[in-house]
A = this chain, B = another copy of it.
Amino acid sequence: MERQSLQSLISPRSVAVIGASDDVKRIGGRPLRYMREAGFAGKIYPVNPKRETVQGLKAYASVLDLPEVPDTAILAVPAAVTLAAVTECVEKGIPSAIVFSAGFSEAGAEGEALQAEIAAVARAGGMRLLGPNCLGVMNPALGYYGTFSVVLDGEFLAPGPVGIVSQSGAYGSHIAHLVRARGLGISQWITTGNEMDISLAEALDHVVAQPETRVVMAYAEGIGNGDRFRAALERARAANKAVVFMKTGRTEVGARAAASHTASLAGSDDVFDAVLRQYGAYRAMTTAEQIDIAYAAAGGVFPVGNKAGIFTMSGGFGIQLADDFTAAGLDVAPMPDAAQAELKALLPYASPVNPVDATAQAVSDMSILTAFVQSMMDKGGYDMFSAILGTGPASESFSKPLREALMAGFAGHDRSIRGLTMSAPRTVVADYEADGFLVYEDGGALAKSFGALAAFADAFARNDPQPTPGTPMDLPQGRMSEATAKTVLRTAGVRFADEALVRTGSEAAQEATRIGFPVVLKICSPDIAHKTEIGGVVLNLTDAAAVRQATDEMLDRVRKAAPDAEIEGVLVSAMLSGGVETIVGVHDDPSFGPVVMFGLGGVFVEVLKDVTFRVAPFGISEAHRMIREIKGHALLEGVRGAPPADVDALAQLLSQVSMFAAANRSRIAGIDLNPVRVMPRGQGVIALDALIELKEGEPS
């Protein structure tokens, strides 16, 4: 059955508050008070069997007594009576409800069982549930505050472009406060708590879909519904809406705390990180970074390229911002020579390269400032502009002329991305913001934000064809030998070294002669995972006689060492060298399903853990981005005189493996291709070993 959307929950026309209280400081009193003070235009039905009225509104003994079926219900009652309240809501036919109370799955087995029972009742009755253990929702444009968050104690939130979704109510409240303090408004605010029904993924999807949302700030400890989550991220990307994520549990200690705090299953943090990259979302490392970047993206304007111009009146600050921009991946490109000459003519002491330093002279004579800025805008070809103003705008007499002189330089560049670093009171900052400036105290924060804007623009511009995983293969039951795994993967497009499965020494000698020497022998059995340990591998055999003898001896040796193993025979393979050694793997992530890993072999994997991930399936372009992410990437471009490796073939292999894994996700537990040799450009990639692990149990 198709679940109903979250419309009734977040944009209701009528609401029942179950457990409504006269005390405006209590959980059951706050939502009522907030909605009334904020002027919620819908109908509010307090439910409280002990009162005639609550906060001046007629109260009802039960939702069953309400004169109409409200769009939604807010349950401000203790855990113990929540099941009864939900049951009544279902009986009344209310399509959605919020459960505030804690004391469920986060509090132990008993709470978990109760939570499951409530969820089952709601599901059977077709009612959507938010929570439990959450702070509810806010919809400032409607004045709808289905929450008891104290962030509203001082003032309400303004409607605006920032959507907020958070598993933690406290964190969601905190960033709402930061958004407000930054002079921004909020489209919708949803906290999901224990997620017995509505997940962060679904909340994200809903908030992204609202036309007024231009940027989303999200907080999660773990993602339960990986496919839905990816779909929401892709929807945001396709709609040019920036998602700025805070995901905790990135270290082992954090993950330990996350597991003990909520019922969410924390997926591997590396995989989560890769998912955000894959869909163009930004992962903030601190809350300060999260709000800084959301602030920059809230205008919905993104740069076309990554060239950043810096205007300064002090050399030192200019250098520092140039460092920061470069560290953020932006190009601090010099001004064209002719434009530099013009600025030099105007002011001989100026440094006109980039940073463009007009010296303190631009303060005494602001026409110089305007001329410099205008030259940068007209001739510099910058995608982003930034000026360093220090404490200048804090001076009352200086602030307005400075702003006007700057604005004069932007004539004809209305939609430009222009940032300022300055220290001034909030009212002064607001004046500059009204003129289209993004204002930061700290240059490092500005640079990181501009870098994020460029990264968003890059992700939004991607137009990769959607990969289609194809139909599942008819995979065998039980364990798979290397030969079987290779047969399966060959069908999926993977290329292996020339080889043959043989049963006798003379057969081996014959195949080796056909393949060409030297060859490698490997015992082939679904029951033997560690071949070397029982003498099941012999390398570098250079003639037929040696192959014959080694094969017979190996079969003998292994049969003795592993008498119960089913022996399919011996694999005779061409012994290849050359190329760059890499590894390709697939594992089944609990949140995101099949995930492809790629890394360089040897010390890169074993010492540096230099690997990266992508959720399957993905196309060739995404595979190229994946390859470029590893630290040792330069090795594939050719170092020490080696030729560049066939990265195109590698990208194709990664994409093909991802398609295969996605198509067979119900069966595949893991794949190892190790090593994979990436040969010089034009010569492809060759996998030398293969392992497929299947999931236990029958295919679904």
Q: Which residues of A contact B (CB under 8 A)?
A: 102-103, 106-107, 150-151, 153-154, 166-171, 173-174, 177-178, 181, 219, 221, 246, 248-254, 256-258, 260-262, 285-289, 313-320, 322-327, 332, 349, 351, 353-355, 357, 359, 390-391, 394-395, 423, 441-445, 603-604, 606-608, 631-632, 634-635, 639-640
Minimal Cβ-Cβ distance residue in B for A289: B444
Judge whether B443 and A287 touch: CB under 8 Å. yes
A629 to chain B, nearest CB (A): 14
Residue numbers in B under 8 Å from A174 (CB-CB) = 317, 390-391, 423
Minimal Cβ-Cβ distance residue in B for A219: B316
Judge whether B323 and A253 touch: CB under 8 Å. yes
Return 10 A-B CB contacts under 8 Å, by A number: A169-B314, A174-B317, A221-B316, A253-B326, A253-B332, A257-B353, A260-B351, A261-B351, A603-B632, A608-B632
Complex Cα distance A391/B262, Å?
A: 23
Complex Cα distance A458/B632, Å?
A: 33
A100 to chain B, nearest CB (A): 11
Complex Cα distance A253/B252, Å?
A: 37
Judge whether B444 and A254 touch: CB under 8 Å. no
Judge whether B323 and A390 touch: CB under 8 Å. no
From B221, B289, B322, B394, contact of A257 by CB (8 A): B322
Judge whether B171 and A251 touch: CB under 8 Å. no
**CB-CB under 8 A for A323 and B248, given A286-B444, A314-B168, A608-B631:** yes
Minimal Cβ-Cβ distance residue in B for A446: B286
Judge whether A319 and B257 touch: CB under 8 Å. yes
Complex Cα distance A355/B443, Å?
A: 32
A473 to chain B, nearest CB (A): 35
Judge whether B320 and A287 touch: CB under 8 Å. yes
**CB-CB under 8 A for A173 and B353, given A288-B445, A444-B285, A632-B607:** no
Judge whether B171 and A316 touch: CB under 8 Å. yes
Residue numbers in B under 8 Å from A150 (CB-CB) = 391, 395
Complex Cα distance A11/B4, Å?
A: 75
Residue numbers in B under 8 Å from A395 (CB-CB) = 150, 153
Residue numbers in B under 8 Å from A632 (CB-CB) = 603, 607-608
A398 to chain B, nearest CB (A): 9
Residue numbers in B under 8 Å from A604 (CB-CB) = 603
Residue numbers in B under 8 Å from A253 (CB-CB) = 322-323, 325-326, 332
From B285, B314, B354, contact of A170 by CB (8 A): B314
Task: Taking A285-B444, A603-B632 as given, write out 9 further A-B residue pairs in contact, using a Cβ cutoff of 8 Å, ordered by the A residue number.
Answer: A154-B394, A173-B390, A246-B320, A254-B320, A257-B319, A285-B327, A288-B445, A603-B603, A608-B608
Residue numbers in B under 8 Å from A256 (CB-CB) = 353
Complex Cα distance A631/B603, Å?
A: 11
Complex Cα distance A258/B315, Å?
A: 8
Residue numbers in B under 8 Å from A170 (CB-CB) = 313-314, 316-317, 390
From B313, B320, B324, contact of A171 by CB (8 A): B320
Residue numbers in B under 8 Å from A631 (CB-CB) = 608
Judge whether B443 and A286 touch: CB under 8 Å. yes
A74 to chain B, nearest CB (A): 18
Judge whether A250 and B177 touch: CB under 8 Å. no
From B251, B391, B639, contact of A606 by CB (8 A): B639
From B169, B286, B634, contact of A442 by CB (8 A): B286
From B252, B326, B357, contact of A251 by CB (8 A): B326
Residue numbers in B under 8 Å from A171 (CB-CB) = 314, 316-317, 320
Minimal Cβ-Cβ distance residue in B for A251: B326
Complex Cα distance A288/B443, Å?
A: 9
**CB-CB under 8 A for A603 and B249, given A173-B390, A287-B442:** no
Judge whether A257 and B390 touch: CB under 8 Å. no
Residue numbers in B under 8 Å from A107 (CB-CB) = 349
A266 to chain B, nearest CB (A): 10
From B260, B441, B634, contact of A288 by CB (8 A): B441
From B246, B326, B423, contact of A254 by CB (8 A): B326
Which 8 A-B residue pairings sit nearest by Cβ, starting from the closest?
A: A286-B444, A168-B316, A170-B314, A261-B315, A254-B323, A251-B326, A248-B319, A288-B442
Complex Cα distance A606/B642, Å?
A: 12
Complex Cα distance A252/B445, Å?
A: 20
Judge whether B316 and A254 touch: CB under 8 Å. no
From B177, B219, B353, contact of A423 by CB (8 A): B177
Residue numbers in B under 8 Å from A326 (CB-CB) = 251-254
Complex Cα distance A680/B261, Å?
A: 46
Residue numbers in B under 8 Å from A442 (CB-CB) = 286-288
Complex Cα distance A327/B260, Å?
A: 20
Judge whether A316 and B167 touch: CB under 8 Å. yes
**CB-CB under 8 A for A607 and B639, given A260-B353, A353-B256:** yes
A239 to chain B, nearest CB (A): 27
A393 to chain B, nearest CB (A): 12
A671 to chain B, nearest CB (A): 23
Residue numbers in B under 8 Å from A254 (CB-CB) = 319-320, 322-323, 326
**CB-CB under 8 A for A315 and B168, given A150-B391, A391-B150, A603-B603:** yes
Residue numbers in B under 8 Å from A319 (CB-CB) = 221, 248-249, 254, 257-258, 261
Complex Cα distance A12/B486, Å?
A: 84
Minimal Cβ-Cβ distance residue in B for A323: B254
Residue numbers in B under 8 Å from A249 (CB-CB) = 319, 323
From B261, B443, B634, contact of A318 by CB (8 A): B261
From B287, B314, B324, B353, contact of A444 by CB (8 A): B287
Complex Cα distance A511/B112, Å?
A: 80
Complex Cα distance A248/B326, Å?
A: 12
A128 to chain B, nearest CB (A): 23
Residue numbers in B under 8 Å from A323 (CB-CB) = 248-251, 253-254
A454 to chain B, nearest CB (A): 16
From B286, B289, B603, contact of A639 by CB (8 A): B603
Residue numbers in B under 8 Å from A445 (CB-CB) = 286, 288
Complex Cα distance A81/B171, Å?
A: 61
